[in-house]
Structure 1
Amino acid sequence: WLVLIVVLFSKALTLVYLLMNEDMLVDRQYSHGVGLVLRAYWAADEENRAKIADAATLTRVVGGGVPEGEQHWPYSEIYERQMQ
């Protein structure tokens, strides 16, 4: 019984943690997806880069041209590294 109670308590704590940090988890998944798209973009040839950019609505800009609203701290550095 003790093992069952400990396991259920652990599951409940995990669920509470996930519910409290939902925004952070979604943000991490979003940044991971962006990273995968960017890797595919740079690995593709010119024709496929255009297709990927159209599908993902990517716009190439220089480092200083990124709009202020697109700076997602703390992930903005990750985006910049992946775009270089």
Structure 2
Amino acid sequence: MTHLKLRRSFATLPAALAALALCASGARGQNQASGTPPQKPAEDVVRVETELVQTDVMVFDKQGKFVEGLGREQFEVHVDGRV
């Protein structure tokens, strides 16, 4: 390579770097100019409504006698055949 060609190559390098920097800052400026941050993908949302129903329970054995001292884990309450 001659001195003249080498000089031209080095002369265009700063111009190319400046153009690249302008393009990069312009792309960054477009995102900031809109004022809205990039949106995150929507997450699945599950909404459930429940009602708490408190029920007083009395348990009787097969002879009809009242059974005392049972804890909640010792029996099940069924409504319309469902637990």
TM-score range, shorter chain: under 0.3
- Using CA pairs under 8 Å that are at least 6 residues apart, name the structure with larger relative contact order, 1 or 2: 1
Highest Rg: 1 or 2? 2
Structure number with the higher strand fraction is 2
**TM-score between the two structures when normalised by the length of structure 1:** 0.24
Which protein is richer in helix relative to its size?
1
TM-score by length of 2: 0.24
